[in-house]
Amino acid sequence: MTRPVPIPESEFAGAVRQARAGRFSEGIDEIERLAGGNAPGEQRKVTAAEALAHVARLAEAAGDAGQAARALESALRLRPEYPDFHYRRGRLLVRLQRHAEARRALDRALALNPRYTAARLERALLDAADGFIGESLEALRALARDTVVEKPAVFQQGLESVERADWEEAGALFTRALELDEPAGGDALERARALLEEGEEARAAEALRAALPGREGWPDLHYLLGSAELRQGQFDDALASLARALELNPDFHAARLQLALALEAVGASAQAGEQVALVLQCDPQHPQALELQQRWESRGWRQGRVNSSHKAS
């Protein structure tokens, strides 16, 4: 078994690094410029939108709600059907005191996913903040009937806070009661990304394994863990982690390409080629898949030669 050569990084990685350094506006501008090429394919739009969402998370964590909202607005121009982007933008607009826009954003998130618990909560709290206490309490009680409330007593305290017009306390209580807040997990993913960029694979893997309990359904977490394991030469572990990421999200192209490298490392060249072919079947111009295909072909790797007309089984 040999250590594989890493996949070339995403074309948007440099822009995300700018944002990580606090240059949010420059990062957004760069992603918009790169994504504004000639008729970008669907997967490229998805990748650009995800990069913008990443910039939004970084900006929000740094307290720059304005740039975070701007990044999500740009992401929504590429993927207007993503309810999470509408919800996150709505939440930021509430913080910016732009309540009418926030209401429209949250309503759009709920039109796309009527059972979106976090969006329903944020919408009810916005009603309360705008003085519609009765409507807010009615919506919150309906939410409790439709949702598993992990801490009913805490939820009741939240209702009492709404009645006292203490919106900030109410929001914190409802978030606890419904177990919606995942700051530790999100922070772990961001730390892991930074550690991987710095070449600290072992520390990244340690942080990700610590974050895994209770978040087994997060494909990004399994993908990053598999990437760290792959770089450490832990190929069997990497195969398992990356396969889990793809089980949770079969359209996760970055995870599929990492899986191809793990298969290459254990000598499964035909299966590695099939994984790259699946990516190219969905997006014939995917830059990292094409780069990997060309690299293998330049080495005369016939067994793993990729056929972009390969059909998924």
Spell out the alpha helix ranges (H) of the chain.
Answer: 13-20, 24-35, 42-61, 65-78, 83-95, 99-112, 117-129, 133-146, 152-163, 167-178, 183-197, 201-211, 219-231, 235-248, 253-265, 269-282, 287-298
Cα gap 298→312, rounded to integer Å: 25
pLDDT at position 44, please?
Answer: 76
The tokens for 244 are 């889990």
Give me the pLDDT at residue 269, please.
85
Q: What single letter denotes the amino acid at residue 171?
A: G
Q: What is the pLDDT of residue 187?
A: 65
| pLDDT score of 10 more than 90 | no
pLDDT confidence tier of residue 307, bands split at 50, 70 and 90: very low
pLDDT digits (tens, 9 = 90+) for 101-127: 999 999 999 999 998 999 999 999 999
How wide is the angle at C-alpha 248 spanned by C-alphas 246 and 253, nearest 5°? 35
* AA letter at 20: R
- Per the structure block, which two tokens stand in for 86? 């509408």
Cβ contact 222:248 at 8 Å = yes
Q: Taking Cα atoms as reference points, which of 240, 284, 235, 286 lies closest to residue 261?
A: 235
State residue 3's pLDDT score. 58
Q: What is the pLDDT of residues 264-274, one digit of tens each?
A: 899 898 899 89
Q: Give me the pLDDT at residue 26, please.
A: 97
Percent of the chain with pLDDT over 90: 49
**Helices 65-78/83-95 angle, 10° precision:** 160
Look at residue 184 in the predicted model and tell me its pLDDT. Answer: 40
Quick check: 134 pLDDT over 90?
yes
Q: Which has the higher per-residue pLDDT, 81 or 307? A: 81
Q: CB-based burial of residue 97 (10 Å sphere; 0-12 exposed, 13-18 middle, 19+ buried)?
A: exposed
pLDDT per residue over 46-76, tens digit each? 788 888 998 998 898 889 999 999 999 999 9
Whether the model pTM is above 0.85: no
pLDDT of residue 303: 39
Phi-psi region of 97 (alpha: psi -120 to 50; beta: other; left: phi over 0): left
* CA proximity to 186, closest of 57, 51, 24: 57
CB 266 within 8 A of CB 1: yes
Do 165 and 157 contact (CB within 8 A), yes or no?
no
Q: Is the pLDDT of residue 135 over 70?
A: yes
Map out the domains of the chain as residue ranges.
183-298
Instruction: Count the Cβ atoms, other than its own, within 10 Å of residue 257.
Output: 23
Tell me the Cα Rg of the chain. 22
pLDDT in the model for residue 304:
40
Spatial distance between the Cα atoms of 191 and 204, rounded to a whole number of angstroms: 7
Nearest to 185 by CA among 151, 155, 219, 226: 219
pLDDT in tens, 223-238: 999 999 999 999 999 9
Cβ atoms within 10 Å of 220's Cβ, excluding its own: 21
Distance CA 22, CA 61 (A): 11
Under CATH, what is the fold of the domain 183-298?
A: 1.25.40
